[in-house]
Amino acid sequence: MAKVLMKGNEAVAEAAIRSGCRHYFGYPITPQTEIAEYMAKRMPKVGGLCLQAESEISAINMVMGAASAGVRAMTSSSSPGISLKCEGISYIAGCDLPCLILNVQRGGPGLGGIQPAQSDYWQATKAMGHGDLHLIVLAPSSVQEMASLANKAFDLADKYRMPAMLLADGALGQMMEPVDLDGIKAPEAVCKPWATCGHDGKRKKNITNSLYINPDDLEKTVIERFARYETVKANEIMYEEYLTEDADIVVVAYGITARICRSAVAMARAQGVKVGLFRPITLWPYPYEALGRLADTASRFIVSELNMGQMIDDVKIAINCRRPVDFCGRTGGVLLTPEEILNAILGGKK
Amino acid sequence: MGMIRTFNLKESGLRRLIAVTGHFGSGKTNVAVNLALRLREETGKPVTLIDLDIVNPYFRAADSTAELESAGVKCILPEFANTNVDIPSLPPEIRSVFDGSAADSYAVFDVGGDDTGAAALGGYRHMFARGGYDMLFVCSMFRPLTPTAAETFEYMREIEQRSGMKCTALVNNSSIGISTERSTLASTDGYIGELSKLSGLPVLFASSMLRDIDPPAHPVFFMDNITKNIYGG
């Protein structure tokens, strides 16, 4: 199939279907409602289910039920709606269930606004629900990646039996770009011997559960889960570098902001400034080591985000505080311009 | 290979009330804004662009207000367009373009996508019917849910049903964004031809943002890209 022109929201939805997802549970909220609309049109044609739940909380618990039965399931929302899903996500993590959760971020806190933001970074990477848990968090920066990383997220979720989140934003959700969906495919049958899909009296019953009466049992499951997290960290870190090899200044940005920073880096390079861009694609696990290596040669780092600087601490950890870390960001639904980032690159400390 | 025929606006017979409809993401806003600018430039008559889009929260005609107004095109925008309000409300000023006193002027309506967006148009259908109108159906073969003429035709029928109005002409706006090549538009001749047959409607023009293209079957309306580029480069 040739390229088609898609919104980011549509690309995620189509990629999910092509990845074998036949169960979508959602509740409308701007700027991600196109996903539900697309699913409502497409799912019946592929024998799938698109269900508008009565609330975000219901939707995530429906995902838990579907994932328990071993099928690929997803939900999507935008920032305030994701907050509502946190409890269910914690239960899903506690049950060791794979699923895809998409956050098309908008400005916050509170009801905030409908314009693009990245202010749920802390929530996604550090505090998505109660308890000792992690999600795999992927940050696409183009409509093509909205599709390819949705596919990747399903694979990783199944592989490690844990929820995966696609952390996008309103701009990526709404903008239109050419997309090639040819490579987006469902895997051959995924073996899920733990699934609660009926045993016909032929095996012991499966139970998906996050409640443990005995504290020692609970501790054991958490420790086992954290051993699995270490495997994820060892195998699944993704990032992209642009002109970092000889860079004296390194801009660190993810998602839509990385696109804007790339333009700014090119502008600065045209003026002879040795600057590069480091783009984490997995926000959890975070590419600490790869970024840390850049501090051997670079003298200054600039974090750029659509929030008040939520990634700064991760960059400081990555480079072990060896270099100064500046910040260039906007928040509340205001987009950065390439010129603002260029000024931060040229201007030294703000 | 033939020559490119360019769209002749003055001889197109377009009526003064022009509703630009289409399926979601077909490029209606780009067509509407370019058409309003061209009407103003070529006829010298007063032109008003009315943003009736209640569907799309971002990328909308309001982004082009400065350019439109400096070219002498009046803009009527929903209150709260491009703010944090999910559902823009349509201002009463819209009714002024249907006045008899506006007879020697053009009004271009940028309607929201699909039948959902056409619902807003339906609120004015009696006023359109009184004044006589053209309703353009903008379509693109490269959008995921409208790859065939038959599927696109379904969207057209839904828009007509919801608005209570009839489309009068087709606009072939088939493009693949930055991946559009010189042969792209002409490669959709079969698609738009079949849609024209299915609907019984003429093709008003094929629109292109590229200048250097293979000649398509229909007259070409060359447009500028008015969509804001959010990441530079």
Residue ranges per domain, chain B? 17-222
Band (pLDDT 50/70/90 cuts) for residue A350 is very low
Quick one: closest CA in B to A31, which residue?
Answer: B57
A107: nearest CA partner in chain B? B84
C-alpha of A240 from chain center: 15
Q: Would an 8 Å CB–CB cutoff place B150 in contact with chain A?
A: no
- Helical H runs in A55-186? 56-68, 79-94, 121-126, 143-160, 170-174
- Please report the domains of chain A, with CATH numbers, ordered by start residue: 4-198+223-235 (3.40.50.970), 241-347 (3.40.50.920)
Give the per-residue pLDDT at A348. Answer: 59
Let me know the angle formed at the C-alpha of B79 by B76 and B82, rounded to the nearest 5 degrees.
95
Angle, helices B149-163/B114-122, rounded to nearest 10 degrees: 30
- A142 contact residues in B (CB cutoff 8 A): none
Tokens found for residue B159: 């828009």
**Measured on CA atoms in the order A336, A340, A344, A349, is the torsion positive or negative?**
negative
In chain B, which residue's Cα lies nearest the Cα of A338? B232
CB A166 within 8 A of CB A198: no
Q: What is the ipTM score, two decimals?
A: 0.90
DSSP string, chain B: --PPPBP-STTS---SEEEEEESTTS-HHHHHHHHHHHHHHHH-S-EEEEEE--S-SSS-GGGGHHHHHHTTEEEE--BTTTSS-SSPBPPGGGGGGGSGGGTTSEEEEEEPSHHHHHHHHHTTHHHHHHH--EEEEEE-TTSTT--SHHHHHHHHHHHHHHHT----EEEE----GGG--TTTTGGGHHHHHHHHHHHT--EEEEEES-SS-PPPSS-EEE----S--SS--
Note whether A67 contacts B: Cβ–Cβ < 8 A: no
Q: What is the DSSP letter of A327?
A: E
Give me the residue from B25, B144, B232 closest to A260, CB to CB: B232
A5:B176 CB<8 A: yes
Question: Based on the number of CB atoms within 10 Å of its own CB, is A53 exposed (0-12), middle (13-18) or buried (19 or more)?
Answer: middle
Which of A170, A178, A262 lies at the smallest CB-CB distance from B233?
A262
What residues in B contact A6, CB-CB < 8 Å?
25, 143-144
Bond into A187 cis (ω within 30): no
**Residue in B with minimal Cα distance to A38:** B145
- Between the alpha carbon of residue A166 and those of residues A26, A27, A173, B29, the distances in Å are 15, 17, 11, 29
For B145, the token pair is 């849910």
3 state DSSP class of A51 = strand
Contacts of residue B59 in chain A, CB cutoff 8 Å?
Answer: 174-175
Please report the pLDDT score of residue B40 as a whole number. Answer: 97
Residue A35 to residues A40, A229, A336, B131, B186, Cα–Cα distance (Å): 8, 30, 26, 38, 31
Q: Are A317 and A301 in contact (CB under 8 A)?
A: no
* A77 to chain B, closest Cα gap in Å: 15
For each of chain B's 233 residues, which pLDDT tens digit applies?
579 999 999 999 999 999 999 999 999 999 999 999 999 999 999 999 999 987 777 778 888 899 999 999 999 988 776 677 776 788 899 999 998 887 899 999 999 988 888 999 999 999 999 989 999 999 999 999 999 999 999 999 999 999 999 999 999 999 999 999 999 999 999 999 999 999 999 999 999 999 999 999 999 999 998 877 777 65
Report angle CA B108, B114, B116 to the nearest 5 degrees: 95
Measure CB to CB from residue A259 to each of B25, B140, B231 and give the nearest one: B231
Task: Give yes or no for B145 touching A (CB within 8 A).
Answer: yes
Q: Model confidence at A341, in pLDDT bands (50, 70, 90)? A: very high
Greatest pairwise CA separation for chain A in angstroms = 72
Sign, CA dihedral A7-A12-A18-A24, equals negative
Residues of B in contact with A259 (CB under 8 A): 231, 233
User: Measured between CB atoms, which of B57, B84, B175 is closest to A5?
Assistant: B175
Contacts of B142 in chain A (CB under 8 A): 2-5
- Residues B177, A256: C-beta atoms closer than 8 Å: no
| Tens-place pLDDT, residues A96-154 | 999 999 999 999 999 999 999 999 999 999 999 999 999 999 999 999 999 999 999 99
Give the tens place of pLDDT for each residue, A11-59: 999 999 999 999 999 999 999 999 999 999 999 999 999 999 999 999 9
pLDDT digits (tens, 9 = 90+) for A200-250: 899 999 999 999 999 999 999 999 999 999 999 999 999 999 999 999 999
pLDDT one-digit tens code per residue, A157-196:
999 999 999 999 999 999 999 999 999 999 988 889 999 9
- A177 lies within 8 A of chain B by CB: yes
C-alpha neighbours within 13 Å on the C-beta side of residue B26: 32
Q: Under an 8 A CB cutoff, do A114 and B176 touch?
A: no
Query: Amino acid identity of B45?
Result: K
So what CATH class is B17-222? alpha beta
Chain B residues whose CB is inside 8 A of the A14 CB are 144
Distances (CA, A) of A135 to A24, A97, A167: 19, 11, 11
* Residue of A132, A125, A122 whose CA lies nearest to A210: A132
The answer to whether B140 faces chain A, any CB pair under 8 Å, is yes
Reading the block at residue A282, the tokens are 């997995």
Contacting residues of A for B85, CB less than 8 Å apart: 114
- Rounded CA-CA distance A208/B98 in Å is 63
Omega before residue A31 within 30° of 0, cis: yes
Cβ <8 Å between A174 and B84 = no
Token pair of B63 as six digits? 């982004």
Q: CB within 8 A of B167, min separation 6: which ones? A: B21, B135, B136, B137, B156, B159, B160, B199, B201
Nearest chain B residue (CA) to A175: B59
Q: Would an 8 Å CB–CB cutoff place B106 in contact with chain A?
A: no
Chain A residues within 8 A of B207 when measuring between CB atoms: none
Q: Is A201 left (phi over 0), alpha (psi -120 to 50) or beta?
A: left
Q: B58–A171: do the CB atoms touch at under 8 Å?
A: yes
Measured distance CA(A350)–CA(B37) in Å, rounded? 42
Using the Cβ of B58 and the Cβ atoms of chain A, whether some distance falls under 8 Å is answered with yes
Question: What are the backbone dihedrals phi and psi of residue B53, each rounded to the nearest 5 degrees, phi first?
Answer: -75, 110
Nearest to B22 by CA among B145, B189, B129: B145
Q: State the smallest CA–CA distance between residue A170 and chain B in angstroms.
A: 9
Q: Is A338 within 8 Å of B144 when comparing Cβ atoms?
A: no
